[in-house]
Amino acid sequence: MAETVYEAIVVGVGAMGSAALYQLAKRGKRVLGIDQFAPPHTLGSSHGDTRITRQAVGEGAAYVPLVMRSHELWREIEAQTGDDLYTVTGGLIIGREHQQTRHHGKENFVQQTIKLASQFQIAHEVLRVAEIKRRFPPFNLHGDEIGYYEPLAGFLRPENCIRAQLKLAERFGATLQTNTKVQGIEVTNNGLCTVITSQGRFTAEKVIISAGAWVKDFLGAEYANFINIYRQVLYWFDVSANYAAFTPEVCPIYIWMFGEADDEYLYGFPAIDGVQGGLKIAAEQMETSTDPDTVSRTVTAEETDAMYRRYVAPQFPSVSNQCVKAATCFYTVTPGSRFIIDQHPAHPQVIVASPCSGHGFKHSAAIGEVLADLVTTGSSKIDLAPFSFAQVIGTPTQSA
């Protein structure tokens, strides 16, 4: 029997890859998705119950079309599967009014967000301190804050999003091969790609690399050296004594730049898992990079204590220091915390989409659609120039 030549193979079917596999299968393409684990899993970048989504993404105007389209797609996928993916809670972004606090590579994040909301006519309110305190009593403000409130912001359930898209992909005829590690990709003289795995070799016309924190394994040093993997920790603190103030009906998702330094920042969610489920709160670190195969996944008592003392207690005095659970996760970060969604500069048959710098999940449904466009037509309706290797990293000679 002749060997199957897939129209596309997707390497890594987490957030970006499951979306791409679904979009390609929906178009009737012969596609294979391969993952070293069995997504959704807890070993990459897409676990931990919730991800923030918001429309006026202060990271830059180039991202707004991606998130807007993703919101449409999440609702479409919910309608097709009956799964619960996107919950609207409203979203609050808080900064100190006279400080130009930076977040995800953008200076003055709150003002950037307000500007983009006006530019894209996204419903929002600008809130003064008294109004934030009145509407959201658990937030312990200093008194010089400014707040951006977006009523349609909320959270996604990442595991459900991935599961739903893989289910639909298979329903539309995709082949899924889990617990299979991709060891290498070769572009042969006839222009086809050979994907070498722990379970044999597969051939495709195009390959999408959506390998998350392992993406560097598939890029030469001239690109990989510009990408860093950072271990992040998610915490759920006990909130049972004040649960009523943190339910999704009254508590928004939030991003809070509470001080001047880049790391004086936290974000979080309402308590979605009942009285005993805890309140998910996290900060970010981009100082110590790691390797996804050797990282420690244990969260120490010292880490939890430091998190509570510096980030939680001053901002949310009514939250207990008892940690209900904790998890580690990876950011895959480029210069300027931007995304790369582009053909590999040396091999146009190989498309890369993973380094999403800690803010990619909300965009992932649309990124899957964009990747399917790149495979089938070579271009996308959404402007991808800001996400090219050339824009984000530069050409190898420039960047060396």
Ligand X SMILES: Cc1cc2nc3c(=O)[nH]c(=O)nc-3n(C[C@H](O)[C@H](O)[C@H](O)COP(=O)(O)OP(=O)(O)OC[C@H]3O[C@@H](n4cnc5c(N)ncnc54)[C@H](O)[C@@H]3O)c2cc1C
The interface mask with ligand X, positions 206-235, x = CB under 6 A, is ----xxx-x--x--------------x-x-
Instruction: Give the Cα separation of 39 and 49 in Å (integer).
Output: 14
Determine if 182 is a binding residue for ligand X (CB under 6 A): yes
Cβ-proximal residue to ligand X, closest one: 14
Shortest separation between residue 11's beta carbon and ligand X, angstroms: 6
The interface mask with ligand X, positions 351-390, x = CB under 6 A, is ---x-x-xxxxx----------------------------
| SS3 call for 389 | helix
Smaller CB separation from ligand X, 16 or 174 = 16
Q: Which of residues 106-145 bind ligand X (CB under 6 A)?
A: none
Determine if 12 is a binding residue for ligand X (CB under 6 A): yes
Instruction: By CB under 6 A, name the one of 8, 10, 16, 204 that touches ligand X.
Output: 16
Instruction: By CB under 6 A, name the one of 136, 331, 387, 389 that touches ligand X.
Output: 331
Smaller CB separation from ligand X, 49 or 145 = 49
Size of the site for ligand X (CB under 6 A): 36
Smaller CB separation from ligand X, 354 or 380 = 354
Stretch that binds ligand X, among 2-10, 14-22, 72-80, 113-121 (CB under 6 A): 14-22
Within 10 angstroms of residue 247's Cβ, the number of other Cβ atoms is 15
Within 10 angstroms of residue 193's Cβ, the number of other Cβ atoms is 22
Determine if 103 is a binding residue for ligand X (CB under 6 A): no
Name, in order, each residue with C-beta under 8 angstroms of 51's C-beta and a sequence gap of 6 or more.
155, 156, 158, 361, 362
Shortest separation between residue 234's beta carbon and ligand X, angstroms: 5
Determine if 52 is a binding residue for ligand X (CB under 6 A): yes
Using N-to-C axis directions, what is the helix angle for 15-26 and 364-376, rounded to 10°? 50
- Are 96 and 259 in contact by the 8 Å Cβ rule? The answer is yes
Determine if 45 is a binding residue for ligand X (CB under 6 A): yes
- Distance (Å) of CA 111 to CA 39, 62, 102, 145, 260: 37, 16, 11, 12, 15
Q: What is the dihedral of CA 292, 298, 302, 307, to 10 degrees?
A: 60
How many Å separate Cα 223 from the centre of its chain?
A: 21
Cα radius of gyration (the chain): 21
Instruction: By CB under 6 A, name the one of 25, 174, 323, 329 that touches ligand X.
Output: 329
- Distance (Å) of CA 311 to CA 136, 140, 257: 18, 11, 11
Shortest separation between residue 81's beta carbon and ligand X, angstroms: 19
Determine if 31 is a binding residue for ligand X (CB under 6 A): no
How many Å separate Cα 323 from the centre of its chain?
A: 24
Residue recorded with tokens 């909130």: 239
Stretch that binds ligand X, among 41-49, 87-95, 185-193, 344-352 (CB under 6 A): 41-49
Determine if 15 is a binding residue for ligand X (CB under 6 A): yes
Q: Give the single-character DSSP code of 287.
A: S
358: phi > 0 → left, psi -120 to 50 → alpha, else beta; which?
Answer: left
Positions in the binding site for ligand X (CB under 6 A): 11-12, 14-17, 34-37, 39, 44-46, 51-52, 181-182, 210-212, 214, 217, 232, 234, 282, 329-331, 354, 356, 358-362
